[in-house]
Amino acid sequence: MINKENKLIKSVATISATLGFVLLLGTTQMARAADKLSIALPGVPPVFSTAFIYTAKGAGFYKKYGLDVRLRPFNSGVAAAKAVVSGAVDMSLSPTAPVARMVSNAGVPLVGIHGMEKPDWVIGSMDPSKNKCSDLKGQAVGVDSPRGARWINLQNMVRPCKLMPDKNIKTVNLSSNVGSAMVAGQLKFGVLHLDDVPVIERESGKKLTIVAEIEKASPGTHYLMVVTTKKTMANRRDVLVRATAAHIEAIRYMYDPKNNKAVAGYAKATGRKLGDAQNAVKIFTDFNYWPNGHVGLNAKRLARTIKIQVIVGKKSKGKGGIKPGKKPVSIAALTDASIFAEAIALVNKRK
């Protein structure tokens, strides 16, 4: 009887051990099954626009959709887009204007699948007596990189007073560190995001003067897109749909005020202190900066952005903007909203 009981105990132990091994193996295989995805981000440290991507990672939305995501900061959104073209990364967050220029001039196979429509750029001055567009003539202005997002928006904001970056305005390339240089007294002028302003004022102890605002100087332009290549869309469509679903959920999460502190914590990689990051989340959600529940590819804004790049190309004789003689990319060729449509359907299905 005792022998039978011992055999039964051994059998149960063997089954339990085997079951445990199977479960462990299954868990390991599930972990390994997470699809890898790489995303290039603008700025070193990344600009605060990327908070939705850091939230998708930190709050577990990528994991929810079976993704293992690697984030790679680049000096500018233009450099990030070039990394997508080269195949070094799968997608990037990049400014719409230079992407439209790259596609039009060189035929690069970039496609925007999700966008941030409203640019928030301003030109700030540490000298209250230098408060007009014309005061920038001959001055040094902080930007990200040559023909990067800040450079292009400087160009757009000074066009009304007939000035041109690197012609009658000097530019200083600082990636996303323009505000820090202004606080340190190294620069009087810089192209800034809205969330840069309160940080500069607090750290410098000085009031920042706004010289120009993009929505007044050049209204109705389109700001940023999540871009990938046509090849990646063809080969990794399901991964892109799941990544976009994660972004949709992350942005929805960010607009809930009770998540403000958590989002600020996820966005620490942008270099903002917790309190500044919390203020930035409120500034940008009040501004409706991140597209909450829609694709963010407004046709009028896209058309306006492409048109300006054509004008700039003619005025600069091809040195900036879309080169004369090159056919401007159409909105249909530049964007594809179908990934987002599938993603939001997936989000609704997972509710």
Q: What is the pLDDT of residues 93-104, one digit of tens each?
A: 999 999 999 999
pLDDT of residue 1: 47
**Mean pLDDT of the 139-166 span:** 93
Give the Cα separation of 158 and 217 in Å (integer): 8
pLDDT in tens, 210-244: 999 999 998 999 999 999 999 999 999 999 999 99
Output the CA torsion sign for 299, 300, 304, 305.
negative
pLDDT of residue 2: 45
Domain 122-217 classified CATH 3.40.50.1370? Answer: no
pLDDT in tens, 47-81: 999 999 999 999 999 999 999 999 999 999 999 99
Count other Cβ atoms within 10 Å, centred on residue 277: 24
Of residues 114, 116, 111, 45, the one with CA closest to residue 76: 45
Q: What is the DSSP track for 77-91?
A: HHHHHHHHHHTSSSE
Burial of 223 (0-12, 13-18, 19+ CB in 10 A): buried
The percent of residues in the chain predicted with pLDDT above 70, rounded, is 91
Q: How confident is the model at residue 316 (pLDDT cuts 50, 70, 90)?
A: confident
Look at the pTM and tell me if it is higher than 0.85.
Answer: no
More confident residue, 6 or 302: 302
Give the Cα separation of 286 and 58 in Å (integer): 22
pLDDT in tens, 187-212: 999 999 999 999 999 999 999 999 99
Question: Would you say the CATH fold of 122-217 matches that of 34-117+221-350?
Answer: yes
Decide: helix, strand or coil at residue 24. Answer: helix
Q: What is the DSSP track for 281-336?
A: HHHHHHTT-S-SSS----HHHHHHHHHHHHHHHHHTTTSSSSPTTSPPPPHHHHB-
pLDDT higher than threshold 60 for residue 22: no
Q: How confident is the model at residue 9 (pLDDT cuts 50, 70, 90)?
A: very low
pLDDT of residue 33: 74
* Counts for the chain of helices (H) and strands (E), in that order: 16, 10
Count other Cβ atoms within 10 Å, centred on residue 289: 28
Quote the Cα angle for 93-201-267, to 5°. 35
pLDDT of residue 318: 86
Burial of 161 (0-12, 13-18, 19+ CB in 10 A): middle
Give the Cα separation of 113 and 340 in Å (integer): 7
Domain extents in the chain: 34-117+221-350, 122-217
pLDDT of residue 8: 44
Give the Cα separation of 144 and 221 in Å (integer): 19
Give the Cα separation of 115 and 296 in Å (integer): 4
The percent of residues in the chain predicted with pLDDT above 90, rounded, is 85
Domain 34-117+221-350 classified CATH 3.40.1190.20? Answer: no
pLDDT of residue 133: 96
The alpha carbon of 77 is separated from its chain's Cα centroid by a whole number of angstroms, namely 8
